[in-house]
Amino acid sequence: MRIFKFGGASVKDADGIKNVFSVLEKVGHEDTLLVISAMGKTTNALELVIKHYFEKSGELNSSLQDVRKYHNQILLDLFDDEEHDVFYAVNSHFADLEYFIRSNKSPNYNFVYDQVVSFGEIVSTTIVSHYFNHAGLKNNWIDVRNFIKTDATYRDAEVNWEKTQQLISKGVKKKALNITQGFLGSDENNFTTTLGREGSDYTAAIFAYCLNAESVTIWKDVPGVMNADPRVFENAILLNQISYREAIELAFYGATVIHPKTLQPLQKKEIPLHVKSFINPLLPGTSVSKGKDLEPQAPCYIVKRDQLLISLSSIDFSFIMEENISEIFALFHQYKMKVSLIQNSAISFSVSVEDKFGNFNELKAILSKKFKVSYNENVSLYTIRHFNKEAAEMVEKGKTVLLKQISRETMQIVTKE
């Protein structure tokens, strides 16, 4: 079986959905499982719904109706008959969402987040599945929450691999076209969980691992894995082939083409990963597979915006020792700070983090009891794999460098622009 993943950009409107249909006609669709994300910016729109819900805002209903209208317009563009079953199915999903918002009693933001944003993927795949059937491409719609089982860490759930393996092995139809949702799972109480933002790539890898898939293809609006984001860097080039190791390194440092968790399950079973263009599906794209000889010959650039550079120093000029660093990292874990870079000296410790859950003020209050805390907000972290002098000079030009770290293969620079 092949696993194809299509992100939100590929199904953002009726033309996008028709294009996905066209891609399958060109590359084949038998014995294939599609993992599909929410349409366009739906996840952002549902995050606004959640914000209004917790703020008890009068705009709650209008923000919810905006999401409904967006999907309804796509339906009207795809189907001539408003009596088609898909209209009933989508309305039913939105009725379930509205019921949850009315009846929920939990004050847990992360729990509510997962229950609400999940409707983006559920509605998206419902529309795609009905359209494909309507256009003559028979398929099997499956609810991923019945297959991927996780713990109850809402917004960043850990997969229960044993249960997931059993369910996927027994429940996924072979020799058919299956359509399911990215990003989602469910806990032991069958409440919806999510695998982390942009987790649909990871979903594809989970299914591939459990099904011993032939390959995974991530369909993007770019030709494949580039050595830099072409929206940020001029003259970005396509990497035709890279190793699992290099792909994991690039993903770890923040390359957005592949989700960081995606590579490990694939590497364990040596399942090839392809990154291809849904605009030009017959182009070769990038292949990720085993092999030391697949390292890029050019520098690879990754930039992470909106980082937080925190510097801690001892109040009494004592050394920052192992027990201090251990305590600091325990707090980073507790407050869900994603650490991108660390650097320490005898009496100071600097770290670049991503405060994706907005917990820094609480963390700062705790840290300030033991350390002098200084910080820079909205900094950028540049990582250059296989760097050279010219690459470093290009990145540093016109910027204030706050921190620099160099290893054999990688240079990282924190800058204020």
Contact 207, 35 (CB under 8 A): yes
Q: What is the pLDDT of residue 294?
A: 66
Tell me: do 209 and 357 sit in the same domain: no
Query: Residue 178 sits in which domain range?
Result: 2-213
Query: Cα separation of 56 and 154, whole Å?
Result: 22
Please say if the pLDDT value at position 281 is more than 80: yes
Determine the length of the chain: 417
Tell me: do 201 and 308 sit in the same domain: no
Residue 256 lies in a domain: no
Binned at pLDDT 50, 70 and 90, residue 318 comes out as: confident
Q: How far is CA 109 from the centre of its chain?
A: 20
Instruction: Give pTM, 2 decimals.
Output: 0.85
Q: Are strands 338-344 and 348-354 parallel, antiparallel or unpaired?
A: antiparallel
167, 198, 213 — which closes off a domain? 213
In the 8-state DSSP scheme, what is residue 142? Answer: -
pLDDT in tens, 32-50: 999 999 999 999 999 999 9
Please say if the pLDDT value at position 92 is more than 80: yes
Q: Which amino acid is at 173?
A: K
Tell me: do 306 and 194 sit in the same domain: no
Contact 239, 286 (CB under 8 A): yes
Contact 278, 10 (CB under 8 A): yes
Q: How far is CA 356 from the centre of its chain?
A: 13
164, 184, 213 — which closes off a domain? 213
Number of structural domains in the chain: 2
Region 158-167 average pLDDT: 98
Q: Which amino acid is at 274?
A: H
Please say if the pLDDT value at position 296 is more than 80: no
Query: Cα separation of 282 and 278, whole Å?
Result: 9
